[in-house]
Chain A
Amino acid sequence: MGAEFVQFSLTPILIGVLAAIACALPGNFLILRRQALIGDAISHVVLPGIVVAFLLTGTVAAIPMLIGAAAAAIVAVILIEAVKRLGKIEPGAAMGVVFTTLFAGGVLLLEQSDTSNVHLDVEHALMGNLESLIWFRASGWGSLLDPVALASLPPELGRMAVVCLLIVALTLVFWRWLKIATFDEGFARALGIPASALGFGLVITAAIAAVAAFDAVGSIIVIAMFICPPAAARLMTNRLGAQVWWSVGFAILSAVLGYTLAGYGPLWFGSQNAVSAAGMIAAVSGVILGLASLYGPHRSRVGVGRDDAGA
């Protein structure tokens, strides 16, 4: 745990943790609202978003890419809603139609335009490059207090931290509304809560989380983090507050454990090279969900087995 750790592992782990939390928080509500797959749809449309942003601006700077991705996510959400209503098509199929079409458009644009000389490719968008987000100027724990070294922190860390804080703040501010609207939309409306606007806001928040996380860690982690930690948490408790805390805990655990296994695991087997950290984080979150499905105290449906009415 010396200088090398600070230089090579601290920032990726932090970014991974922040990304996981940012995705897991809205994921809790998406799962309870049966909208879990919206994260899947959003993470696919990020690609056309960044391709269009690149074609319009001609740069691979982070801000235009993020704006493009966010715009694509919003366009996708609106299109899904339009297809659902205009064609009277069930939500899953509407999502499937929209995001695959947009993704195909993105791939086609990417192949048509001359982007081979810039670092913009599909694999990067999918897998991210968590391992490369190292803190180059750090020389040890002391660097945390060194302003010169701090200035060279990877910019993804700052962005991810801001987004994560924003999402935590939004969750806290809208906690009561979200709680009521998620469980009883009719009651929420009767109370005067703008339930549809809240639902749309939730999806947009998820989109922001997905876009910021994709930039740092790739889309796979986004899909897995939206669903696995909250789903595992759902099997641990019947209380929403506790569920959110569990999901944050699972998200952190997946990120730290996944990064460690990816970075150091192969060394234990005598291999020289690390494996994809984003993929490993997703895999660890899956293992956690698997364990929760097997042993979680509240894994059964209500009415089956033990009930916590008295608790």
Chain B
Amino acid sequence: MSGFLDALLLQAGYNAALVMIGSGLLGFAAGTSGTFMFLRKRALVSDAVAHATLPGIGIAFIVMVLLGGDGRNLVGLLIGSAATAWIGLLLIEWIARRTRLAEDAAIGAVLGVFFGIGIVLLTVIQTMSAGRQAGLESFLLGSTAGMLYSDAVVIAIGGSIAVLATWFMRRPMTLVSFDPEYAAALGYNVRRIDLTMMGLVMMVTVIGLKLVGLILIVAMLIIPAVTARFWTERSNRILWIAGCIGGVAAYVGAAISASAPAVPTGPIIVLVTAVMFVLSLIFAPVRGVSAAIIRHRRFQARVHRRQGLLSLARQEPIREPYTLRLLAREGLIRPDGVPTEAGRAQAAKVARDERRWAVAREVHQDAGLTGRYDGLTPIEDVFTRDEIKDFDRRLGTPFPVEGLA
């Protein structure tokens, strides 16, 4: 545990600190750029982009070796992967626009085919330079073990550029995410903005390859955005919340990985993010599951209370145990089911409001106001005091409700 705290405070050694800072930046960049893909309902495009980097890695390696260089140069590999990821993106866009196939089919096709080509190239590389096992497989799942200072710098610079670009482009990208037609009417080039969005995702993917690998980078792009959505209804906030969730999860994940043996960085970052997602799913204030349950229980209680009071007013027996419990707890009935003084008063009010509503429906035959009658909204919330007085006049003078007086 102290090892984890040490790591968290960047005391676990130079390399670990490097990895953690790089991860945090990458997580923040992934969270923000993934948000727009999520809002555009294209979350899985990032999956295709990630898989489409593999052939680029293979090609870059082959080219660099053929040119007599070191095939493992990270910058070269990243440029290669960016190139094929970009081709994959354009293909998805082209298939979805030019053919009748839906976008999900285009995503799946590009994903499977590019990954297949990548695997073919990896086997070619294995045979091509048998002595120089390239270790390109590490790009599948990532590995921070051999991370160099230069790698961390690449991640830090790339992540910062991605965050900055997101910041500058946030207005048009938000607009396109919510209403592409309106954006087009305002004169924005929707296609170019879409491509910019995907380009940002591609950049984050490429940068993250070394750290978490191409399969798990998808999680860093999707999960923070989905998690942030639980906490806000505002697009400018979701962006930064997603960024913070992604950044914190990546930082903490990297710290756990640095302090525990045999815990690979990529998966643990994803799992930390997933824990945050599950917590949000359950505990988020409005959209969370527990909030929904509480809302439902309150609604249920209101319905039961009202039906119980109406029954009291009509002197009908109440048999529903939940209603009885509810009314007894509020002191409206005695344990034997006989209404108390307060209960009679409340029942009379509910019955009177019910009659008022009946009059209101006769007076206002349009559905605008009376349409809000759901049995639960107090009449005082819908009509003014004068209007209610008017309803009362039409009802006639109050008379004792039989048996309750």
* A residues at B contact (CB < 8 Å): 31, 34-37, 39-40, 44, 83, 86-90, 92-97, 100-101, 103-105, 107-108, 111-112, 122-123, 126-127, 220-221, 223-228, 231, 234-235, 262, 266, 271-276, 278-283, 285-286, 289, 293, 296, 298-302
- Let me know if A93 and B267 touch, CB within 8 A: no
- Let me know if B271 and A103 touch, CB within 8 A: no
- Let me know if B116 and A96 touch, CB within 8 A: no
- Let me know if B117 and A282 touch, CB within 8 A: yes
- Let me know if B116 and A279 touch, CB within 8 A: yes
By secondary structure, the A interface counts as helix
- Let me know if B108 and A39 touch, CB within 8 A: yes
- Let me know if A283 and B219 touch, CB within 8 A: no
Given contacts A86-B289, A89-B226, A220-B119, 11 further A-B contacts (CB under 8 A): A31-B101, A35-B104, A37-B108, A90-B43, A92-B41, A93-B226, A108-B268, A123-B137, A220-B115, A228-B113, A293-B94
Cβ distance B121 to chain A, nearest Cβ, rounded Å: 8
Residue of chain A at shortest CB distance from B113: A286
- Let me know if B223 and A101 touch, CB within 8 A: yes
Closest 7 pairs between A and B when the two form their complex, measured CB to CB: A282-B116, A286-B113, A224-B112, A279-B119, A100-B219, A104-B270, A223-B112
- Let me know if A101 and B270 touch, CB within 8 A: yes
CA distance A27 to B72 in the complex (A): 38
25 A–B contacts from the bound complex (CB under 8 Å): A96-B218, A101-B219, A101-B223, A101-B271, A104-B266, A104-B268, A104-B270, A107-B264, A107-B266, A123-B140, A126-B140, A127-B119, A223-B112, A223-B115, A225-B112, A226-B112, A273-B123, A275-B124, A278-B119, A280-B116, A286-B113, A286-B114, A286-B116, A299-B100, A300-B100
- Let me know if A282 and B113 touch, CB within 8 A: yes
CA distance A92 to B109 in the complex (A): 15
- Let me know if B98 and A100 touch, CB within 8 A: no
Chain B contact patch, size range: 35 or more
CA distance A300 to B99 in the complex (A): 5
CA distance A226 to B38 in the complex (A): 24
CA distance A282 to B52 in the complex (A): 13
| Residues from chain B with Cβ under 8 Å of A126 in the complex | 119, 140
Cβ distance B8 to chain A, nearest Cβ, rounded Å: 19
Please tell me if B263 contacts chain A, counting CB pairs below 8 Å: yes
CA distance A235 to B77 in the complex (A): 36
| Residues from chain A with Cβ under 8 Å of B289 in the complex | 86-87
Please tell me if B85 contacts chain A, counting CB pairs below 8 Å: no
- Let me know if B113 and A108 touch, CB within 8 A: no
Cβ distance A209 to chain B, nearest Cβ, rounded Å: 14
- Let me know if B119 and A231 touch, CB within 8 A: no
A228 and B119 contact, Cβ closer than 8 Å, known pairs A37-B44, A104-B274, A275-B124: no
Contact of B108 among A36, A101, A280 (CB under 8 A): A36
Residue of chain B at shortest CB distance from A131: B123
Contact string against A for B residues 271-292, beta-carbon threshold 8 Å, 1 for contact and 0 otherwise: 1001001000100000101000
CA distance A256 to B212 in the complex (A): 35
Please tell me if B151 contacts chain A, counting CB pairs below 8 Å: no
Most buried by A among B44, B104, B225, B274: B104
A279 and B117 contact, Cβ closer than 8 Å, known pairs A105-B271, A108-B268, A235-B101: yes
| Residues from chain B with Cβ under 8 Å of A127 in the complex | 119
A283 and B116 contact, Cβ closer than 8 Å, known pairs A87-B226, A93-B226: yes
- Let me know if A286 and B108 touch, CB within 8 A: no
Interface residues in B318-342 (C-beta closer than 8 Å to A):
none
Residue of chain B at shortest CB distance from A302: B100
| Residues from chain A with Cβ under 8 Å of B19 in the complex | none
- Let me know if A280 and B262 touch, CB within 8 A: no
CA distance A235 to B118 in the complex (A): 26
Cβ distance A119 to chain B, nearest Cβ, rounded Å: 16
| Residues from chain A with Cβ under 8 Å of B219 in the complex | 96-97, 100-101, 104
- Let me know if A298 and B100 touch, CB within 8 A: yes
Interface residues in B38-52 (C-beta closer than 8 Å to A):
38, 41-44, 46-47
Please tell me if B10 contacts chain A, counting CB pairs below 8 Å: no
Contact string against A for B residues 8-37, beta-carbon threshold 8 Å, 1 for contact and 0 otherwise: 000000000000000000000000000000
| Residues from chain B with Cβ under 8 Å of A90 in the complex | 41, 43
Cβ distance A102 to chain B, nearest Cβ, rounded Å: 9
CA distance A235 to B108 in the complex (A): 16
| Residues from chain A with Cβ under 8 Å of B120 in the complex | 262, 275-276, 279-280, 283
Interface residues in B85-133 (C-beta closer than 8 Å to A):
94-95, 98-102, 104-105, 107-109, 111-120, 122-124, 127
Please tell me if B250 contacts chain A, counting CB pairs below 8 Å: no
Residue of chain B at shortest CB distance from A273: B127
CA distance A86 to B41 in the complex (A): 18
| Residues from chain B with Cβ under 8 Å of A112 in the complex | 262-263
| Residues from chain A with Cβ under 8 Å of B277 in the complex | 97, 101
CA distance A231 to B114 in the complex (A): 16
- Let me know if A228 and B112 touch, CB within 8 A: yes
| Residues from chain B with Cβ under 8 Å of A302 in the complex | 100
Cβ distance B193 to chain A, nearest Cβ, rounded Å: 20
Cβ distance A72 to chain B, nearest Cβ, rounded Å: 16
Cβ distance A246 to chain B, nearest Cβ, rounded Å: 14
- Let me know if B108 and A223 touch, CB within 8 A: yes
CA distance A126 to B44 in the complex (A): 19
| Residues from chain A with Cβ under 8 Å of B215 in the complex | 44, 100, 103
| Residues from chain A with Cβ under 8 Å of B141 in the complex | 107, 122
Please tell me if B4 contacts chain A, counting CB pairs below 8 Å: no
Contact string against A for B residues 244-275, beta-carbon threshold 8 Å, 1 for contact and 0 otherwise: 00000000000000000011101110110010
- Let me know if A89 and B229 touch, CB within 8 A: yes
Residue of chain B at shortest CB distance from A31: B105
Please tell me if B230 contacts chain A, counting CB pairs below 8 Å: yes
Most buried by B among A111, A231, A235: A231
Most buried by A among B112, B120, B215, B263: B112
